[in-house]
Chains A and B, each alone.
Chain A
Amino acid sequence: MAELDQRLLEDISEWSHERPVPGIDGVLRLDVRDGARVDSWYLTIEKGVVTVSRQGDKPDCVLTGDVATVDAVLSGKANAMAALLRGALDAQGKIVLLTVLQRLFPGSPGADGLSIAGYAERQS
């Protein structure tokens, strides 16, 4: 059975610690569907820092998608906004939280090889 690689979420959390962009707080619940099974993660955004857990408060936004789509979006292979428009992802509630969160997703690797990791090197 396909499962979401939780390290993708941990990377996002780690990246948010390195470069927090404070502004909008809230809880986003990520529901990852695989057939009838749904795995949920709670992403709590506080002062720009994201913490990930399997339980959490009542979410302000619920983001739903299948494993392949969520995996592609979190790893930078697909764009979150495009997936939402396509109906491959569904967001209910405060959509702004997805806007805040998507900044932490890696970009499609560029021709010059600079992605988020490249940016980190450049800034250091």
Chain B
Amino acid sequence: MSGDVKILDGNTFVVSDDSGDIEASLTDPTGLFSFDTRFLSKWVLTIDGQRLNPLSVDDLQYFETRFFLVPGTGTVYIDAKLSVIRQRAVGAGFHEEVTVLNHDAKAVDLVVRIEAASDFADLFEVKDDLQKKGEYYTRVDDGRLVVGYRRETYVRETWVSATEACSVDEGGLTFVVHVEPHEQWSTDLHVAIGRGPGGMSSSEPKYERHAKKARPNMELSLEKWLDDAPSLDCDWDPLKRTYHRSLVDLAALRFSPLSLPGHYLPAAGLPWFMTMFGRDSIFTSLQALPFTSELARTTLMALGLWQGSRRDDFRDEDPGRILHELRFGEMTAFEERPHSPYYGSVDATPLYVVLLDEYERWTGDAKLVRSLERQARAALAWIDDYADLQGNGYIAYQRRNEKTGLENQCWKDSWDSISYRDGRLPGFPRATCELQGYAYDAKVRGARLARLVWKDPAFADRLETEAAELKRRFNRDFWVEDGQYYAIALEPDGSKVDALASNNGHLLWSGIVDKSKAKAVARHLMSPAMYSGWGVRTLADGQGRYNPIGYHVGTIWPFDNSFIAWGLRRYGFKEEAARIAAGILDAAEFFEGRLPEAFGGYERELTKYPVQYPTSCSPQAWSTGAPLLFLRTMLGLEPIGEHLIVDPALPHGIGRLELLDIPGRWGRMDAFGRGRVDVGGRPRRGGQLGVLKPGSKKA
């Protein structure tokens, strides 16, 4: 995927090579995609039959890019007398302006051709290499090329047209061009996508020629988004870059659900996850709350609308359950995949209540909390009525859709992520520990909302009693006495699945950890076995399945670490939280401020730089949100009543940090902090914040 150029707008995106061309095979995610369907798999520009060679690529905006090209390939003579500019903006299809410049003293006659085709692959087919069941067609229609795919009533079409005169055939558009000396020729190419039954309706490309500026498909422009966010200034420049990158990427990942036009929630990641996910949308909204509440608001409304209402085994749906994933492609349309939507997530439901409460604490928007009372109550009821699959009062998961459902329904969803210390895998149903923390937190926060907003003190009392009871049992049943940490899961027979994993950090965040046990947990998280110097590993070094490049068994996830740091702060471990922030923020600098989904769990001292996991998605929403949550934890931002509390604990190297105009129920407030926490690095301007030698500082 190196050399890929991506632009996106909502769930429409284009991935091409660095000359702007697309030549996709079934299994590689290049092309024009919209609503989980590929609308162009071939898009190749030639001049006199020759491909073009890239000189440079300008990423203008997340939705717009420009390619500078010359004829010829890298191995042959480059004719510098001709150059080509392709400027492309995405939005309900895309628009491309092709300009040919003649630098010579003589006029030239050229044949410019754009080849276009589509396989209309569902993203699931691209991922899993599956074959199509319908038929393709192509026609030339009113001066434009139409490529289409039909399977029963399912129809998808791509329309290609140009502003300049051309001949259109079933493979593309051909222009016969004469360019005078030192003159230029250009045409606009429109690619429109069509879906829908019977009469095709097609959205027109939004970017017309000579429009002053390409605009994204958002009422809220990027500039306004950036203006509305708090402004950050500090002595450590990398943080400014990372903050800006996070804001821009989060803007790019905004996605407007069909059911709530004009509202935006975070899609999970490009290119595989440009859709609504319960878990990812909730975690990202939580991370972003001190900076914008719009993502949380839309997430709560949209997930509330789609809340499960019945038992449906194919979709793993239950009444009250919050969805896992919503998809729009062909396989979902024909119920060959259950994503219409699919409900196989076991954490999204308690986390929904957690987000609702956190949203109210920041915004004071009691109106939304009142309007979602039924949804919140149904979510809380689901925890007790449907999620107790082991019959012991703990949330557990086991899919009912055994063909196409998800086996692991917690965030560590790979096959080997939940294991014993010696590497054995437990059976199902599985009750992973962090789920119990989320359930506890949902009950505590639900009680607060019941008392404050829904005016139901009896319900509040009941939830608080249940929460206290859950906490008491949990600290007995999950505690690994000989290791002094919480087991990653419980088996149906009550056996402790005793691997040491980062899930312990989420337990701190949830508040389910007994005060007397918190110190031992924090010590583990900061130990050399878990903390690499860059961050906390998903699974501790020394466990049976530990592998520094194992997806959930040794890599370091920025999102995971941001919640671990929040958890450490919650229990008063300010310096430890600052050390984790320092490590991940140092790592961000190696990725130009765009944190990957995960990177290798190697010792920082060993590699000197974070080794990127060969990841599928970038940007990824909850990695994008991680620096935002680190800012919150480093500054110690906490909404209490009508006030915003600021209690900074910053790494030395940051020097002075100010975050201005933090939005909330107080209006706008500023936060200031100075770097006073020794995280082991030298307080040197512009250098790295953290230590090379992990575990050398006190914990």
Contact = CB atoms under 8 A, between A and B. Distances in A.
The yes or no verdict on A and B being binding partners is: yes
Interface stretch (A3-11, A38-46, A107-115): A107-115
A99 B335 contact: no
Interface in A82-110: 82, 85-90, 95-96, 99-100, 103-108, 110
Contacts of A81: 326, 332, 340-341
Interface in B325-345: 326, 328-330, 332-335, 340-341
Contact of B385 (A21, A79, A86, A122): A122
Contact of A110 (B305, B309, B311): B311
A110 B313 contact: yes
Given A79-B340, A96-B260, A122-B385, A85 B314 contact: no
A78 B385 CA distance: 26
Contacts of B374: 21-22
Main secondary structure of the interface of B (DSSP, over half): loop
B415 to A, nearest CB: 23
B259 to A, nearest CB: 4
Given A82-B335, A119-B319, A90 B196 contact: yes
Contacts of B50: none
A115 B311 contact: yes
Interface residues of B, number: 39
Given A79-B335, A96-B260, A107 B317 contact: yes
B326 to A, nearest CB: 8
B516 interface: no
B258 interface: yes
Given A85-B328, A116-B310, A90 B340 contact: no
B259 A85 contact: no
Nearest to B317: A107
B129 interface: no
Chain A: interface size category: 20 to 34
A95 B258 contact: yes
Interface string B249-288: 0000000001110000000000000000000000000000
Contact of A112 (B154, B311, B334): B311
Contacts of A119: 310-311, 319
Contacts of B305: 23-24, 96, 99-100
Contact of B312 (A86, A90, A95, A107): A107
Nearest to B337: A82
Main secondary structure of the interface of A (DSSP, over half): loop
A118 interface: yes
A95 B259 contact: yes
B371 interface: yes
Nearest to A66: B153
B259 A82 contact: no
A85 B258 contact: no
B341 A108 contact: no
A104 B309 contact: yes
A114 B309 CA distance: 12
A86 B311 contact: no
A105 B313 CA distance: 15
A74 to B, nearest CB: 13
B312 A108 contact: yes
In this complex, which of A87, A118, A122 has the most chain B Cβ atoms within 10 angstroms of its Cβ? A87
Nearest to A78: B335
B400 A86 contact: no
Given A90-B197, A96-B305, A82 B310 contact: no
Contacts of B312: 107-108, 110
Contact of B310 (A87, A89, A99, A115): A115
B306 interface: yes
B262 to A, nearest CB: 11
Contacts of B197: 87-90
B333 A118 contact: no
A116 B317 CA distance: 11
28 contacts: A21-B374, A21-B375, A81-B326, A82-B332, A82-B334, A82-B335, A85-B328, A85-B332, A85-B333, A86-B153, A87-B154, A87-B155, A87-B195, A87-B197, A88-B152, A90-B196, A90-B198, A107-B311, A107-B312, A108-B312, A110-B313, A112-B311, A114-B311, A116-B309, A116-B310, A116-B311, A119-B310, A122-B385
Given A82-B340, A88-B153, A104-B309, 17 more contacts: A23-B371, A85-B154, A85-B332, A85-B340, A86-B154, A86-B333, A87-B198, A89-B197, A95-B258, A99-B306, A103-B309, A108-B313, A110-B311, A111-B400, A112-B313, A116-B309, A119-B310
Interface of A: 21-24, 76, 78-79, 81-82, 85-90, 95-96, 99-100, 103-108, 110-112, 114-116, 118-119, 122
